[in-house]
Structure 1
Amino acid sequence: MPASAGPARWRNPATWPTDVLAPLGYWASSRLLMIMTVFSSGENAKGEVHRLYEKWAHLLAGGSYPLGDPTWQYPPGAAGVMLAPKLVPGVNYVQGFVAVTCLADLLIVGALVWQGRRPGRTLGGAWAWSLGLPLMLYIPYARYDVIVTLFAVLGLLLLQRRPMLGGWMAALGAMIKVWPAFAVFGAPWGRGLRSVAIGFASAVVSLLVLVSLFLKGPFDFLNAQGSRGIEFESLPGSALLVAHQFGYHSEIAYRYGSLEIVGSYVDLIGKGMLALSVIGFCWLLWWRIRVRVFSAATPADAALAAMLVFVTTSRVISPQYFIWLIGVGAVCLTYRATTQRAVVAMLIGAVALTTVEFPLFFQQILAGHTGFTLLLAARNLLLLAATVLSCVRLWRATVPRRRGPDAGTPAAVPAARKDGEGPVTSATQPRRASDRTADQENAQ
């Protein structure tokens, strides 16, 4: 009997939904291999967890953030992530960290499967997450970015049906690493947006009050962030590595928790990248002002575009950043109306190139090997192309073209479709129209 022919009865394997079991089965087998890779790759795999995270957890358990530590560059909420492995009984810190990360990973794929089985959705997101993460070998389970991604994914999935809770989730993620705040950037206008803002703000205030009462120095991380230079894996960093092949004199030095380029014009280039980040933020604000058409996929599409803008203009790009991009890209793929399918495909390719660069041939790049330096530059060019494509597709899908004096008026906005996958609301319509749209989405 096909799985779709009746309700699943877990005592009868013939009724089990194969469309759910397939991605979950692949997830289980691939994650087992990833965990084995963490513990079989020596100190290179688990060194950061052992040397940094465990040290920070010890300080936090004593009531203080790592004051004066230039490698501590994380918002106050990161304290909870560092302390969580200590709550896992019967294991050491590294084993507890892997267990917590694996649980977060399972919750992400479970949420994507749950969303993908709703009417009008797809399981593409669950497959993208299940297939994309193992390309990074042990990195996802040796960094805490999967845990951060969990809050961003949950925030995006809850944004339209439970906007206040979605705002809460995004805020909790933003208090661990800032980027999950982009989860609320594309929230539709109307009553739901106010609920998202209230949930986000209340979560931030509550967490700040909590950590200020129990821990010393929650804002010390800002000192290290402002001093960071050009990390060699970033877009300008890889360009300088290529320039080094043609006579530009530079060195790579370990500073502020990453390997940075030291050479002429680096400070000027760093200021230029900050200026590009500001320009990118201004474009995103302009999009937010001009947006008129929202589909069910728009919040996730906007979050991915915003993240790509800030990653590509950042002075630092670490391999684990791609965990964020794959996570938010997976949310995009759960919607049939997404504009980001080609973008996510490009990101999967960038992940594969990243793994070749780190950890497989990291030392060769540090030694100045021409071929692997060009590979890193190609990865960054692919990332830049994905960013441009993401922004262009987001704009074209949500900002109507001007076609005369009446363009941009409410009458020019397409009507909502019953399946929730077409345009669903307009910023220029009265509030009641937006509320009706939110009710349509909630009714699904």
Structure 2
Amino acid sequence: METKGTARSLSWPLATWAVTRAALLLFVFQVFVFPGPDVTSDVSVIYRGWYEVLRQGTFPLDDVTWQYPPAAALAILSPAVLPFLSYTHAFFVLAFLADLVVLALLLGPRRRPGRSPRGAWVWVAGVPLLGPTVYARYDVMVTAVAVAALLAGARRPRVMGALTAFGALLKVWPALLLVGAVRRRAWASAAVTAAGLAALFAVSMPGAFTFLAFQRERGTEVESLGALVFHVARHFGWQGQVLLNYGSIEFLGPHVDQVSAAALALTGAAFCWLLLWRLRVTRPVPHMPADAAFTAVLLFTVTSRVISPQYLVWLIGLAAVCGSYRASRMGAPALMVLAASFVTVLEFPLGFSHVVVSDRYGVLLMVVRNGLLVVASLSAARRLWRSTVPPAPTAPLPPQPARPRQTPVSP
């Protein structure tokens, strides 16, 4: 009977995953055309161009759109393992396999004490909400590494540290997974792995860290939280421009530098809050690393100068890991992320032309999507603090002086 129940519990998420992912593959292989701009051009044009450079043993030193850590080269070169397919089709197949790996990782520990199948459902339902963009970016591969790192953390901290370091050298943000790591072995393993891999890339391929200079020059992208200032300002005569700059559509013009600086200041404030939280934690719980990683990535995503649609893949993956713990308190923020993912596909690719011209529909989409992410960030931070930091002790009331007993007066 138990075997039948287990098979039944697996059949629904697997069937739903199969149907939704088949639809995504049909869209990226362009059997059916998804409305809006072609999201697969990043793979067929940009990634393929980087592939041709990287296979020569060097990074794209003259391409300012290369803004990724050195291990990203492995993701761009990975379609070479399927030589019987074209580069573009091989990349889509590998993205599909990374998606499957995440599902397998989430389904694996579901029957352990304190675990829940909700996490798998968050992943199954959340990914297709973003449309075919998921398979047309390498972020799903990075997310698979991050999910594996978090799930390994409870029993194998050294594995968590090594995977976290590898993920950070793929796309930086997985470094935030260490925010909630309790065991020092995870930090030590991450440091050793990161140092070793960084040295290997620096010696073997020229220009491994030129991406740092390119990242520094980025402005305010039209989908970011700070961009709302200019979306609204355009209706009141702001004289700036919207142009392709450093690989994304950005606002350029008066006061953009100030808004970008404010975004960096907010990122700094988020880092300070996370540091304060880490110093105040006295009640570590098994799900704390997942909750902390989800909160940290939410905070850094919201305060970033760029919020690309594929960033939501990170959040869905981390929300799924949180959902795999019954005691996690990130249910409401996770639902907000799923809602934001649906609004994201309405914004890109479906309504991106409206966002670029800042018409009312485009501004509304940005207000709703970014508003959901802001509320999810604040809610996650509040829940993380309350679940791991004890309340401040209240000062005892001063003792009240005893009242003198009154002797009754006899008549």
TM-score range, shorter chain: over 0.9
2:44 pairs with 1:50: yes
2:250 pairs with 1:256: no
* Corresponding residue of 1:385: 375
* Corresponding residue of 1:343: 333
* Corresponding residue of 1:168: 162
* Corresponding residue of 1:317: 307
- The letter of the residue matching 2:373 is L
* Corresponding residue of 1:330: 320
* Corresponding residue of 1:75: 69
For residues 220 and 319 of structure 1, what CA distance do their matches in structure 2 show?
Answer: 24
* Corresponding residue of 2:95: 101
2:171 pairs with 1:177: yes
For residues 120 and 392 of structure 1, what CA distance do their matches in structure 2 show?
Answer: 22
Q: Please list the CA deviations of residues 293-349 of structure 1 after superposition, one character each: whole Å capped at 9, or x if unmatched.
A: 111111010001111111111111100000000000100000011111000000111
Secondary structure of the 2:309 match is coil
Secondary structure of the 2:61 match is coil
Which runs of no fewer than 5 residues in structure 2 stay unpaired?
Answer: 397-411
Is 2:173–2:297's contact at 8 Å kept on the other side of the alignment? yes
* Corresponding residue of 2:272: 282
* Corresponding residue of 1:124: 118
Shift of residue 157, structure 1, vs aligned partner: 0.3
2:149 pairs with 1:159: no
* Corresponding residue of 2:343: 353
Q: Identify the match of residue 238 of structure 1 among 206, 228, 234.
A: 228
2:103 pairs with 1:90: no
* Corresponding residue of 1:307: 297
* Corresponding residue of 1:187: 181
* Corresponding residue of 1:374: 364
Q: Identify the match of residue 59 of structure 2 among 62, 65, 69.
A: 65
- The letter of the residue matching 1:125 is G
Q: Please list the CA deviations of residues 20-70 of structure 1 after superposition, one character each: whole Å capped at 9, or x if unmatched.
A: 222122111211110111122388131000111111111111010000211
Is 1:68–1:220's contact at 8 Å kept on the other side of the alignment? no
- The letter of the residue matching 2:155 is R
For residues 388 and 23 of structure 1, what CA distance do their matches in structure 2 show?
Answer: 30
Q: Please list the CA deviations of residues 354-392 of structure 1 after superposition, one character each: whole Å capped at 9, or x if unmatched.
A: 110101111122233212212211211111111111101
Structure 1-normalised TM-score? 0.86
Question: Equivalent pairs: percent with the same residue?
Answer: 41
Larger radius of gyration: 2
Structure 2-normalised TM-score? 0.92
Q: Identify the match of residue 201 of structure 1 among 191, 194, 199.
A: 191
Is 1:332–1:338's contact at 8 Å kept on the other side of the alignment? yes
Is 2:283–2:389's contact at 8 Å kept on the other side of the alignment? yes
* Corresponding residue of 1:32: 22
Over aligned residue pairs, what C-alpha RMSD do you find? 1.5
Shift of residue 404, structure 1, vs aligned partner: 4.3
Shift of residue 272, structure 1, vs aligned partner: 1.2
Shift of residue 276, structure 1, vs aligned partner: 1.1
- The letter of the residue matching 2:268 is V
- The letter of the residue matching 2:10 is V
For residues 206 and 32 of structure 1, what CA distance do their matches in structure 2 show?
Answer: 39
Is 1:38–1:141's contact at 8 Å kept on the other side of the alignment? yes
For residues 25 and 378 of structure 1, what CA distance do their matches in structure 2 show?
Answer: 31
- The letter of the residue matching 2:120 is A
Shift of residue 119, structure 1, vs aligned partner: 2.2
Is 1:242–1:374's contact at 8 Å kept on the other side of the alignment? no
Shift of residue 16, structure 1, vs aligned partner: 6.1
Q: Please list the CA deviations of residues 232-280 of structure 1 after superposition, one character each: whole Å capped at 9, or x if unmatched.
A: 1000112310222233333211100001111211101111111111111
Q: Which moved more, 1:228-237 or 1:36-45?
A: 36-45
Q: Identify the match of residue 287 of structure 2 among 279, 297, 305.
A: 297
Secondary structure of the 2:251 match is strand
For residues 27 and 355 of structure 2, what CA distance do their matches in structure 1 show?
Answer: 22
2:389 pairs with 1:395: no
Is 1:140–1:323's contact at 8 Å kept on the other side of the alignment? yes
Is 2:222–2:356's contact at 8 Å kept on the other side of the alignment? no
Shift of residue 405, structure 1, vs aligned partner: 7.0
For residues 244 and 79 of structure 1, what CA distance do their matches in structure 2 show?
Answer: 39
Shift of residue 166, structure 1, vs aligned partner: 0.8
For residues 366 and 199 of structure 2, what CA distance do their matches in structure 1 show?
Answer: 42
2:139 pairs with 1:145: yes
For residues 109 and 258 of structure 2, what CA distance do their matches in structure 1 show?
Answer: 45
Is 2:29–2:89's contact at 8 Å kept on the other side of the alignment? no
Q: Which runs of 4+ in 1 moved over 3 A?
A: none
2:263 pairs with 1:273: yes
